Amino acid sequence: MRFRLMINKAIQVMFVLLSIMIVSCDGEGDDSEYEICGKNDPDWFISLIESLETDSTSFRNANVAEFEYNGESLFHVMNPLSSCLYCYVYDCDGNLVEWPSVDDFQDYEQNREYIAHLWP
């Protein structure tokens, strides 16, 4: 009986230690917040996020998601308060994507593949 109590106590201690190790683990030590097209925290993306955070009136409910479209990663700033539904789509270099027509944007909307929610 005493042996069984010691085993139970040892298991509890191991569980607590393991929990502490998991919670305190910081991954691989990489401080970057975003990986965009193989680059950590590209300047254009950090600037975009900072502008979204500081312009709380226009972008109060905005979010940023990564999509793949025609083999290319695109970053869509979706802002439900904006009348410009598709004017905030960026490529990997931070260039604003220009849609030749509404049909092109609709094709993007219908055929894009969701990759990840990036912000907030």
Give pLDDT tens digits for 64-94.
999 999 999 999 998 877 777 667 999 999 9
pLDDT mean over 13-33? 50
* CB within 8 Å of 91: residues ≥ 6 apart: 72, 73, 74, 75, 97
**Higher pLDDT residue, 4 or 64?**
64
pTM of the model: 0.69
What count of other Cβ atoms lies within 10 Å of the Cβ of residue 35? 15
The residue count for the chain: 120
> Residue ranges of the domains in the chain?
35-119
**Rounded-to-integer distance, Cα 80 and Cα 89, Å:** 14
